[in-house]
C-alpha cells in the first residue's frame, strides 16, 4: 500500500488506529462492526466537525444534517418537486391553518414509533402529539441554550416567552407541565399552536429539523449527555460516533413503512431517471451511512477519485477547473460514469462586525464609515474569480437566490469595490496614519488593528489572504486568529469575536431567514453581529406578518437598504455548489430545504458495482 493511500484511508476512517478523538456509541445500537457484504452503504465526508445530535441544541449545518436523518419534523419539502412544495411527514395531512394565520392544528399519524432505546425500558414507544409539544418547549428551557429559540420567539407563541422569563427571574427550572395557550396537546394525536401575531409562513418553518419530535423519557434518561444519544422516529439511528472523525448511521429497523414516490419536475432528466429507477422501493434505500470528517480539500478529493467516498458534497473551488471545466462534468469523470448535480444552496457567505466591539462596532458616523470603507475595499470580483473559481455570484443583500424576496435587479453598495472611495471615507472620519508607519490609527489616535477569526484549512486561508491584501491596500492592519469551526461558533454566539466569516443557509425558501440576521432580538443566535437598530427592527416586524406580495417586498427592500447602510455584515457572495456521485450511487439529487441528511433516505447504492469499482 502506498503512503498516499494510507493517508487517505486514515483520513476517511478506514484505518481506525489513526483516528483521533474519543469513540462514543449509541446505547440503543449494538457495537459497530463491518456491514454485511451485500449491505447498501453510502460513504460520505464532511469538511467541518459536528457538535452533537440534539436538534434543540445544535445550529451548525453538519450536526443538523445528521439530525435530519434521525429525527422527524411534522412537515417536509418534497424531495424532487420544483417549485418547492411542502407535504405532511408525520401527520395525517397538512396542518389546518386559520384565516388569520394565528392558529395551526397538527394531527399526528398513529403507528409511528421511536427507535428502540434503553430509555423506554423495553417498551415500544409511539410518537404522540405531546412529543411535539415537549420538543418545542425545550427550546424555551434555558438549560438547553437553544440557538433556534429566536424563531419561536419571533413567531410569538402565546405564553411561552412569558413563562420562560417568569421562571428565569424566579431561578426555577422550566415547567414543562404548565399549560400555555401557545402550544398544547388536544388529544393523543392532535396538538395546536397559537400565535399572538399572524405568521403566514409558519407551516414552512415547521419543516426544519429543529422542531422535530423527541421523547421526554430520552431527555430525562440521558440528561446533559443527550447530545450523544439521539433517539428519533426517522429512517436512521446512530450506530457509532468518534468525535470530529467518524459517524456511522444505520437503518432504523422500526421505521414506518414508506416507499419512494417522488415526482420529478419537467425537463430534469436526472430526476426523471431517478424516479423511473426507484419508484415504489421501500425507504430508506440505504442500510448504512459512514461519514468521515476531512477538513482539507485535497484528501477529500483524492478519496473520492479513489472510490473511497461515494459522493463528493460540494466540489471545492480549487478543484472546480479539474472536475467541471466551464461548469460541465470533466470528460474523464464522464467516462467513469459519474454524475454531477449543480445548484444554488440558498445561502450567503458573510463576514460580520461585532456591533458591541469598541473598535468596529457602534452606530456613530465614524464607526459606520469604518465598516463601509472596509466593505468598499473588498474586491468581490477577484474573490469570485481567484478563490471561488467563479462558483458564486455577488451578494447585493443577505437574501439569496431561490428565496422569496430576492430580486435579480436589486443593486447596492454591498458588491461595490472602490478603494478610492474607501480611503476617502477613512480620511474624512479621522482614520489616518499619524505616525508614518503605513497603518491607519483610530480617530482618537489609538492603534487600529482588526482581529478576524478564521479556521486552519486551505479554503479559509485563501479567503483571509484576500482580506489581508484588500485591507493593506487601504492602510488597515488585520490580524487573523485561527481556531476550529465549532470553537469559533461558540465564541461568536457569546459575542467574543471582533469579526468572523461563515456561510448562512436558509431552511425554507423565504428571505426572512436572511433578514433575521439583523433583527435585534436575535442577538447571539442568528444575529452574530449583535446588530440592534430600531428602524431595522420595526421594518423586519412589518415584513414578517405580511403575506407575500408588493407590500411585503417593499418592507424587505427597506430592511435590505438599512442593513447595507449600517454594514454590520459584509455580504460577500451567494455560492453555487456542485456535487459529484459515483456511478453506483442511485437517484442522487439535492433539495437544499430538506438538507443532505433528510435526502439520504431517497438515495440508493448498487453494492455489486460499488465493491467492484472500489476494489
Q: Are residues 124 and 171 in the same domain?
A: yes
- Parallel, antiparallel, or unpaired: how do β-strands 75-77 and 86-88 relate? antiparallel
Is the separation of the CB atoms in 460 and 484 below 8 Å? no
Q: Could you report the per-residue pLDDT of 176-201, keeping only the tens digit for each?
A: 999 999 999 999 999 999 999 999 99
- How confident is the model over 278-289, as a mean pLDDT? 98
C-alpha distances (whole Å) from 57 to each of 10, 50, 138 are 30, 12, 9
- How confident is the model over 455-475, as a mean pLDDT? 95
C-alpha distances (whole Å) from 147 to each of 54, 71, 144, 492, 523 are 11, 18, 9, 12, 10
Structure confidence at residue 6 as a pLDDT band (50, 70, 90): very low
At residue 412, the pLDDT reads 95
Taking the C-alpha atoms of residue 501 and residue 224, their distance in angstroms, rounded to an integer, is: 30
Residue 429 C-alpha cell reads as 472620519
At residue 614, the pLDDT reads 62
Which residues constitute the domain of residue 3? 1-53+234-338+583-615
Residue 402 C-alpha cell reads as 431561490
Taking the C-alpha atoms of residue 509 and residue 347, their distance in angstroms, rounded to an integer, is: 10
Structure-derived torsion over alpha carbons of residues 49, 51, 54, 59, reported in degrees to the nearest 10? -90
User: What's the CATH code of the domain at 27?
Assistant: 3.40.190.10
Is the separation of the CB atoms in 503 and 575 below 8 Å? yes
The burial class, CB within 10 Å (0-12 / 13-18 / 19+), for 213 is: buried
Burial 120-155 (b: 16+ CB within 10 A, else e): beeeebbbbbbbbbbbbbbbbbeebebbbbbbbbbb
pTM of the predicted model as reported, rounded to 2 decimal places:
0.87
Q: Are residues 560 and 595 in the same domain?
A: no
How many Å from the N-terminal Cα to the C-terminal Cα in the chain? 13
Structure confidence at residue 33 as a pLDDT band (50, 70, 90): low
Is the separation of the CB atoms in 406 and 571 below 8 Å? no
Locate cell 470528517: which residue? 293
Structure confidence at residue 38 as a pLDDT band (50, 70, 90): confident
Q: CA 388, 289, 69, 145 torsion: positive or negative?
A: negative
Residue 102: partners with Cβ closer than 8 Å, 6 or more residues away:
194, 195, 196, 197, 198, 199
Q: Are residues 412 and 523 in the same domain?
A: yes
Residue 171: partners with Cβ closer than 8 Å, 6 or more residues away:
none
At residue 467, the pLDDT reads 98
- How confident is the model over 214-229, as a mean pLDDT? 98
Residue 324 has phi, psi (to 5 degrees) of -150, 70
SS3 208: coil
Q: What percent of the chain has pLDDT over 70?
A: 94
Is the separation of the CB atoms in 214 and 231 below 8 Å? yes
At residue 32, the pLDDT reads 52
At residue 35, the pLDDT reads 76
Q: Residue 58: inside a domain, yes or no?
A: no
**How many C-beta atoms surround the C-beta of residue 102 within 10 A?**
17
Taking the C-alpha atoms of residue 364 and residue 514, their distance in angstroms, rounded to an integer, is: 25
- Parallel, antiparallel, or unpaired: how do β-strands 449-454 and 311-312 relate? unpaired
Is the separation of the CB atoms in 126 and 120 below 8 Å? no
Q: Are residues 592 and 472 in the same domain?
A: no
User: What's the CATH code of the domain at 204?
Assistant: 3.90.76.10
- 130's enclosing H/E stretch is helix 129-138
- 500's enclosing H/E stretch is strand 499-505
Q: Are residues 325 and 251 in the same domain?
A: yes
* Domain termination site, one of 197, 228, 259: 228
Q: Are residues 327 and 386 in the same domain?
A: no
User: What's the CATH code of the domain at 465?
Assistant: 3.10.105.10
**How many C-beta atoms surround the C-beta of residue 603 within 10 A?**
25
At residue 20, the pLDDT reads 32
Is the separation of the CB atoms in 229 and 54 below 8 Å? no
Q: Are residues 220 and 330 in the same domain?
A: no
SS3 82: coil
The strands making up 23-24's β-sheet, listed across from edge to edge, are 23-24, 236-242, 246-251, 288-293, 41-46
* Domain termination site, one of 185, 209, 228: 228
- How confident is the model over 43-56, as a mean pLDDT? 95
Structure confidence at residue 571 as a pLDDT band (50, 70, 90): very high
SS3 91: strand
Q: Residue 63: inside a domain, yes or no?
A: no
Please state which of the ranges 266-270, 452-456, 539-543 shows the lowest mean pLDDT: 266-270
Structure confidence at residue 125 as a pLDDT band (50, 70, 90): very high
Q: 180: closest CA among 140, 215, 149?
A: 140
Beta partners for residue 339, in sequence order: 581
Taking the C-alpha atoms of residue 96 and residue 193, their distance in angstroms, rounded to an integer, is: 10
Q: Could you report the per-residue pLDDT of 518-560, keeping only the tens digit for each?
A: 999 999 999 999 999 999 999 999 999 999 999 999 999 999 9
Structure confidence at residue 15 as a pLDDT band (50, 70, 90): very low
- How confident is the model over 241-258, as a mean pLDDT? 96
Taking the C-alpha atoms of residue 556 and residue 564, their distance in angstroms, rounded to an integer, is: 12
Taking the C-alpha atoms of residue 371 and residue 414, their distance in angstroms, rounded to an integer, is: 11
Q: Are residues 190 and 304 in the same domain?
A: no
Structure confidence at residue 345 as a pLDDT band (50, 70, 90): confident
Q: 348: closest CA among 232, 467, 505, 196?
A: 505
Beta partners for residue 348, in sequence order: 504
Question: How many domains in the chain?
Answer: 3
- How confident is the model over 444-457, as a mean pLDDT? 96
Alpha helices in 429-501 (DSSP H): 458-472, 485-493
At residue 98, the pLDDT reads 98
Q: Could you report the per-residue pLDDT of 575-605, keeping only the tens digit for each?
A: 999 999 999 999 999 999 988 899 999 999 9
* Domain termination site, one of 174, 200, 228: 228
SS3 111: coil
Q: Are residues 397 and 447 in the same domain?
A: yes
User: Alpha-carbon Rg of the chain, whole angstroms?
Assistant: 25
Q: CA 230, 236, 239, 244 torsion: positive or negative?
A: negative
Q: Are residues 368 and 223 in the same domain?
A: no
Q: Could you report the per-residue pLDDT of 372-421, keeping only the tens digit for each?
A: 999 999 999 999 999 999 999 999 999 999 999 999 999 999 999 999 99
Mean pLDDT of the chain: 93
Locate cell 400565535: which residue? 195
Residue 288 C-alpha cell reads as 448504512
Q: Are residues 328 and 388 in the same domain?
A: no
Locate cell 473559481: which residue? 389
Structure confidence at residue 31 as a pLDDT band (50, 70, 90): very low
Quick check: 17 pLDDT over 50?
no
Q: Are residues 239 and 166 in the same domain?
A: no
Quick check: 3 pLDDT over 50?
no
Q: Residue 60: inside a domain, yes or no?
A: no
Between residues 66 and 459, the one the model is more confident about: 66
- 480's enclosing H/E stretch is strand 477-482
Q: Residue 75: inside a domain, yes or no?
A: yes
Is the separation of the CB atoms in 433 and 439 below 8 Å? yes
Structure confidence at residue 5 as a pLDDT band (50, 70, 90): very low
For the chain, the farthest-separated pair of C-alpha atoms sits apart, in whole angstroms, at 76
Q: Residue 539: inside a domain, yes or no?
A: yes
Taking the C-alpha atoms of residue 95 and residue 195, their distance in angstroms, rounded to an integer, is: 14
Q: Residue 65: inside a domain, yes or no?
A: no
Q: Residue 511: inside a domain, yes or no?
A: yes
Q: Residue 64: inside a domain, yes or no?
A: no
Amino acid at each position: 500500500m502506498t503512503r498516499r493511500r494510507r493517508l487517505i484511508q486514515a483520513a476517511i476512517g478506514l484505518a481506525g488506529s489513526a483516528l483521533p478523538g474519543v469513540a462514543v456509541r449509541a446505547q440503543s445500537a449494538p457495537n459497530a462492526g463491518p456491514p454485511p457484504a451485500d449491505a447498501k452503504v453510502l460513504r460520505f465526508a464532511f469538511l467541518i466537525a459536528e457538535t452533537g445530535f440534539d436538534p434543540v441544541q445544535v445550529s451548525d449545518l453538519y450536526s443538523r444534517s445528521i439530525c435530519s436523518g434521525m429525527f422527524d419534523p411534522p412537515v417536509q419539502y418534497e424531495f424532487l418537486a420544483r417549485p418547492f412544495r411542502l407535504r405532511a411527514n408525520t401527520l395525517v395531512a397538512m396542518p389546518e391553518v386559520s384565516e388569520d394565520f394565528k392558529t395551526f392544528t397538527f394531527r399526528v399519524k398513529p403507528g409511528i414509533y421511536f427507535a428502540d432505546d434503553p430509555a423506554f425500558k423495553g417498551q415500544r414507544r409511539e410518537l404522540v402529539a405531546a412529543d411535539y409539544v415537549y420538543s418545542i418547549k425545550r427550546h424555551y428551557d434555558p438549560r438547553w441554550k437553544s440557538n433556534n429559540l429566536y424563531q419561536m420567539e419571533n413567531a410569538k407563541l402565546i405564553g411561552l416567552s412569558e413563562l420562560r422569563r417568569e421562571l428565569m427571574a424566579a431561578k426555577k427550572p422550566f415547567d414543562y407541565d404548565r399549560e400555555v395557550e401557545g402550544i398544547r396537546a388536544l388529544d393523543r394525536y392532535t396538538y395546536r399552536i397559537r400565535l399572538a401575531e399572524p405568521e403566514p409562513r409558519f407551516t414552512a418553518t415547521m419543516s426544519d429539523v429543529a422542531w422535530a419530535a423527541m421523547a421526554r423519557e430520552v431527555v430525562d434518561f440521558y440528561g446533559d449527555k443527550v447530545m450523544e444519544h439521539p433517539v428519533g422516529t426517522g429512517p436512521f439511528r446512530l450506530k457509532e460516533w468518534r468525535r470530529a472523525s467518524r459517524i456511522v448511521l444505520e437503518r432504523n429497523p422500526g421505521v414506518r413503512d414508506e416507499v419512494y414516490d417522488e415526482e420529478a419536475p419537467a425537463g430534469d432528466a436526472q430526476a426523471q431517471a431517478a424516479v423511473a429507477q426507484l419508484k415504489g422501493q421501500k425507504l430508506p434505500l440505504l442500510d448504512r451511512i459512514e461519514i468521515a470528517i476531512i477538513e482539507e480539500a485535497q484528501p477529500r478529493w483524492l478519496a473520492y477519485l479513489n472510490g473511497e467516498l461515494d459522493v463528493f458534497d460540494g466540489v471545492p473551488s480549487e478543484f472546480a477547473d479539474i472536475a467541471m471545466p466551464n461548469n460541465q462534468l470533466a470528460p474523464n469523470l464522464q467516462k467513469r460514469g459519474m454524475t454531477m448535480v449543480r445548484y444554488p444552496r440558498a445561502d450567503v457567505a458573510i463576514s460580520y462586525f461585532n456591533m458591541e466591539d469598541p473598535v468596529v462596532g457602534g452606530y456613530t458616523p465614524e464607526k459606520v464609515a469604518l465598516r463601509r470603507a472596509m466593505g468598499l475595499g473588498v474586491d468581490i470580483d477577484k474573490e469570485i474569480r481567484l478563490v471561488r473559481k467563479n462558483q458564486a455570484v455577488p451578494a447585493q443583500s443577505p437574501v439569496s437566490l431561490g428565496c422569496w424576496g430576492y430580486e435579480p435587479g436589486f443593486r447596492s453598495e454591498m458588491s461595490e469595490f472602490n478603494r478610492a472611495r474607501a480611503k476617502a471615507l477613512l480620511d474624512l472620519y479621522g482614520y489616518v496614519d499619524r505616525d508614518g508607519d503605513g497603518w491607519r490609527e483610530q480617530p482618537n489616535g489609538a492603534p487600529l488593528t482588526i482581529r478576524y477569526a478564521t479556521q486552519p484549512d486551505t479554503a479559509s486561508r485563501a479567503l483571509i489572504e484576500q482580506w489581508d491584501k484588500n485591507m493593506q491596500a487601504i492602510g488597515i492592519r488585520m490580524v487573523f486568529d485561527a481556531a476550529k469551526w465549532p470553537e469559533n461558533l461558540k465564541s461568536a454566539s457569546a459575542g467574543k469575536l471582533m469579526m468572523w466569516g461563515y456561510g448562512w443557509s436558509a431552511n425554507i425558501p423565504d428571505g426572512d431567514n436572511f433578514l433575521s440576521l439583523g433583527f435585534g432580538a436575535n442577538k447571539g443566535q442568528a444575529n452574530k453581529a449583535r446588530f440592534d437598530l430600531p428602524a431595522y427592527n420595526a421594518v423586519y416586524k412589518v415584513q414578517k406578518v405580511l403575506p407575500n406580495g408588493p407590500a411585503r417586498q417593499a418592507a424587505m427592500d427597506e430592511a435590505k437598504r438599512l442593513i447595507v447602510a449600517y454594514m454590520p455584515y459584509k455580504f460577500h457572495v451567494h455560492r453555487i455548489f456542485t456535487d459529484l456521485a459515483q456511478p453506483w450511487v442511485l437517484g442522487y439529487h439535492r433539495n437544499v430545504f430538506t438538507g443532505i441528511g433528510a435526502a439520504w433516505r431517497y438515495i440508493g447504492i448498487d453494492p455489486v458495482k460499488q465493491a467492484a469499482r472500489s476494489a
